[in-house]
Amino acid sequence: MMIKRTVALIAGLTLFSACKDSTGVPDLNNVSSSLLQSGLNASSVQLLVTGLLNSDRGNLGIVFPETMARDMYRLDSAEPRFITELIGLPADPGGFVGGGMWIGYYSEIRAANNLIDNIGTAKDLSSAEQAGVKGLAQTFKALAYYRTLEMRDSIGIPIDVDHDINSPPAPFVCKPNALDYILALLDSAYANLQSAGSTPFPVSLPGGFSTAGDYTTPAAFAAWNRGLAGKVAFYRGMDHSKPNAASFATAVSDLNTAIGAMDPSTLNNSVYYTYSTAPGDATSPIVDAAIHLNPMVADSIQPGDLRSVEITKRSVAATGQGVTTSYDYTYAMPSGTGNLTRPMPVLTKAEMVLLRAQAEIQQNNLAAATTDINFVRTNQGGLPAYPTFASQTDAINAVLYEKRYSLLFTGAQRFVDLRAYSRLNATYLRKETATDVFQTALPVPTREVDGRGGSIGALTCN
């Protein structure tokens, strides 16, 4: 019975996550681990893994952060809040924008906890196989926490949510504490993945684990885990309230492990989300006639950049809610061949190389940063290499350019970078509307606050 209830939960999450950037916000009290009293076996582990990964696919979350980062417009005459509450005014915590990108992540965390808490009961899996599955689940659990934090920033998030449904709400913790927790979770996952060895995971994984690069073994996935750890460590170092310079060395070390040899042919290697037009499956979440490029993307690309293939000039400008653009993102166009089923990367080696450059910049190792930036610039952009940067500012400008065009429409990367470098403001960006507030984070959803008696309480911060 408990296994059936868990599978039903996963099916519900699958349907719910089909929306663009989650619009529902249930009480976090109701997001907790469901102990499978009858025990797991290889078959039920497969169901739980499939549900977890499908939940993660539904939580990619591009529209909100890419709009806030000035890369995207979603112009829908029936729903102006894609502009008015992401650019024009602070988001309403009771609406689908301010309340979005929340429940999906905590539902995914619950799905991960179902695996982590109960994998030891799967007696038909060896201890090494159990460790591999646990490391996989811990990695995606960490990713869900990190994505929640990307959108709430200094507001903080709850992390101690693996409790009975009747337990008190988990306290909100500050951003530095949350990042430290995520890093510890990734380290635990890495240890489990290493102990699982190089034989394939004991479950079938989606095709995106071998779309570019093969991440179907715990050993290979462990290297990708280190890329995610390096990313989180870099932003731990950049935290405004409690920066940690030592985190940059940790980031470089983890990213070295993840990247390995510098090979241009592997720059797009990543775990990918895959899509199809088969009944009951999902198509690409960015293919939408209402989605367009912010004109600043087209205005800023350098002549000769090969990544300009991502930019399509419109014959007629798109206008709405006070903004106008003459450009589309090529791979978001419904008319594009193969766009509906085009895979989406989670964390590519190109991003890892540029993250390493960012950490090297903060260490003032500008020669190493120049090498990493140029590796992506010349191989993905087809542009001439830079000479060694003379200042951190010049290097930051360059790495932000490369990240924008190599990672366009793949996640919250630019939004997070603009905020980390204190560039999400009128000093660096033009106002999109007369009321543009340069919003740096979404609020805590109203229903979450209401479930806590009207207040999230004081942040827990060491």
Per-residue pLDDT tens digits for 214-226:
999 999 999 999 9
- Residues with Cβ within 8 Å of residue 126, at least 6 apart in sequence: none
Q: Could you list the beta-strand ranges (E) of 289-437.
A: 291-293, 311-320, 323-329, 344-345
pTM of the prediction? 0.92
pLDDT in tens, 231-287: 999 999 999 999 999 999 999 999 999 999 999 999 999 999 999 999 999 999 999
In a domain, 65, yes or no: no
Neighbour tally for 37: CB within 10 Å: 10
Q: What distance in Å separates the CA atoms of residue 66 and residue 82, rounded to the nearest whole number? A: 11
Token output for 239: 């935290």
Q: What distance in Å separates the CA atoms of residue 375 and residue 267, rounded to the nearest whole number? A: 9
Give the pLDDT confidence score for residue 4 in this predicted structure: 31
Give the pLDDT confidence score for residue 117 in this predicted structure: 96
Give the pLDDT confidence score for residue 249 in this predicted structure: 98
Residue type, 61: G
DSSP 8-state secondary structure symbol assigned to residue 28: G
Q: Which residues of 287-322 are buried (b: 16+ CB within 10 A; e: fewer)?
A: bbebbbbbbbbbeebeeebebbebbbeeeeebebbe
| CA 185 to mean position of chain CA atoms | 16
Q: What distance in Å separates the CA atoms of residue 151 and residue 443, rounded to the nearest whole number? A: 9
Give the pLDDT confidence score for residue 165 in this predicted structure: 83
Q: 239 — phi, psi (to 5°)?
A: -55, 135
Q: Can you spell out the DSSP letters for 192-215? A: HHHHH-SSPPSS---GGGSSBS--
pLDDT in tens, 4-29: 333 323 333 333 333 344 333 333 33
In a domain, 7, yes or no: no
Element (H, E) at 338: none
pLDDT in tens, 148-187: 999 999 999 999 999 988 899 999 999 999 999 999 999 9
DSSP 8-state secondary structure symbol assigned to residue 337: T
Q: What distance in Å separates the CA atoms of residue 306 and residue 309, rounded to the nearest whole number? A: 6
In a domain, 317, yes or no: yes
In a domain, 315, yes or no: yes
Token output for 337: 């061949």
Total number of domains in the chain: 1
In a domain, 275, yes or no: no
Contact 53, 318 (CB under 8 A): no
Question: For residue 417, is pLDDT > 80?
Answer: yes
Residue 314, domain extent? 291-341
In a domain, 335, yes or no: yes
In a domain, 268, yes or no: no
Q: What distance in Å separates the CA atoms of residue 281 and residue 272, rounded to the nearest whole number? A: 16
In a domain, 311, yes or no: yes
